[in-house]
A and B are shown apart, each in its own frame.
Chain A
Amino acid sequence: MPSRSFLLKMLSLAIVFGAWEIAGRVPVSYAFPTFLESMRALALLAIDGTLFTAYAETLRPLALGVLISAILGIALGLWIGLSARFDWLFSPIFVVMQSAPLAALIPLLVMAYGIGLTSKVFVVCIMAMPVIVLNTASAVRNTPSSLTEMARSFLGSRLDVILKVIIPAASPVIFSGLRLGISAGFIGAILSELKITPTGVGDIITYSRSIADYASMYAAIFSIILLAVLFLNLLEKLELHLFRGNNRGYVTD
């Protein structure tokens, strides 16, 4: 029997898609297709294989960028959170990165790294990394001091304290940073394909718009959102698998 929360999720989807369908039928704008038209276009893109070749292209900078951002971001965040000196050294960089208008910086990246994969990976990283780094650092800094004192008083080494207390204690906030960072990475991947060179899903969007095939354009946008949501759900499963206590509340509550 489906759970209540599952039913509510389905209801929420039905409301959004229903509103989309109605807005398309009114129509709000002739450039705004209905939900069903967009889904038909999505099916066509999937059947003739365009969608899959596009994703093979888009997923490369996306996966690389997200992977680099996650690993490097968490490592740097831990380092910044554990050491006041590295906080002073690195935090400003990420605060600037987070607030920089990325679209304006893309021409600079293209001049430096060309129009290939490197620039696109950079865009994904610039979008994804700051929030991962800053969340990780603040989570580490906010580890309850009584927990680290406890581990030290029971003879935990520095490494024990980091691995068995600080990282598990910080994991909920690290994971929320990862979720935000990865969704930003998806935005970055599409942005780079729209602003640097139209490849992959960005190409479908640009091309369909230029020939006024708005259903396909929205189908492509819908597919990337769907992928992001699926990926974020997967990440949540991973979190609950790695840190089983995370959905069990906190002592201080």
Chain B
Amino acid sequence: MSQTRAAPRSTVPLAADIAVRTRDVSKHYGTVEALRNLSLDFPRGQLTSLLGPSGCGKTTLLKIIAGLIPATSGQIEVSGKTVTGPGPDRAFVFQDFALLPWASVLRNVAFGLELRGVARSEREAIAEKYIRDVGLAGFETSYPHQLSGGMRQRVGLARALSVNAEVLLMDEPFSAVDEQTRRKFQEDLLALVANENKTFIFVTHSIEEAVYVSDQIAILLPRPSRVSEVIRPTGIRDKGADNIRRDPEYLDIVDRIWASLRSYVE
């Protein structure tokens, strides 16, 4: 995979280019208000981060978009269709990988297709391709406990890619892997966003990570959760993966976000 980006993407998305749209989404757990009237647009083909202090409802929002938990009120649209549950247009990458410990890498990667009723030979051929793509060729018959944390998340990523969904939902996917692996993942993610025509929604609690990988950052503030600010780090996007962290704009945005989040961190 190339680690430099293709052509820079347009900075202001057209209305038709919104892949996922949330409208006045609220979520209550009993008397606890997790989200209040949250409206946010996710441009097609771009990576949007949901960033905020812990407990701000970013994972809740992601799971509502995935259709895993219902919103108390409001609406989610994916390519114009209202979400009522999980759908073939979305694939999820889990923070704790969510691999089947009793299944080989091959079966784990093919599991999404297995659940969709794809015939065995076909789904294994697709899975083998994505196992190669994420750099795990040769590990097809290994079991998850034989892999390192980073490799396990590559399995989770290959599983999400193999179902060929338009929208990839990533719930703090790199938080359970070590720092060096995380950096490699972030670079690979930039290449993935550039090369695959998919929309990425990325939950993270790391400011640096969000600024490094995102086309758009939505800052969520807690109790009740709302979008306080949407930042588009457009200037640094076409600088190349190796130069982003040295760019003054990158550093400015990181500082600005920290200034606005600081008061919410206990």
Contacts and interface: CB of A to CB of B under 8 A. Distances in A.
Interface residues of A, number: 26
B92 interface: yes
Interface stretch (B42-50, B100-108, B225-233): B100-108
Nearest to A153: B92
Contacts of B174: none
Contact of A251 (B66, B97, B163): B97
Interface in B67-109: 67-68, 86-88, 90-92, 94-103
B101 A152 contact: no
Contacts of A152: 68, 86
B132 interface: no
The interface centre, meaning the residue of A155, A160, A244, A253 with most chain B CB atoms within 10 A of its CB, is: A155
Interface in A134-166: 144, 146-147, 149-156, 160, 164-165
A246 B102 CA distance: 6
Contacts of A169: 100, 102
B1 to A, nearest CB: 24
A153 B68 contact: yes
Contact of B100 (A147, A149, A246): A147
Interface in B94-143: 94-103, 111-112, 114-116, 143
A155 B88 CA distance: 7
A40 to B, nearest CB: 47
A185 to B, nearest CB: 27
Nearest to A171: B102
A135 to B, nearest CB: 18
Given A146-B98, A149-B68, A248 B116 contact: no
Contacts of A245: 100-103, 143
B150 interface: no
B145 interface: yes
Interface in A202-253: 243-246, 248-253
B154 interface: no
Given A150-B94, A246-B102, 8 more contacts: A144-B96, A153-B86, A154-B112, A154-B163, A164-B111, A168-B102, A251-B101, A253-B145
Interface of A: 144, 146-147, 149-156, 160, 164-165, 168-169, 243-246, 248-253
Kindly list the 3 A-B residue pairs having the minimum CB-CB distance in the complex, ordered from nearest. Answer: A245-B102, A150-B98, A154-B112
17 contacts: A144-B96, A146-B96, A146-B98, A147-B100, A149-B98, A150-B94, A150-B98, A152-B68, A152-B86, A153-B66, A153-B91, A164-B115, A244-B102, A245-B102, A248-B143, A252-B101, A253-B145
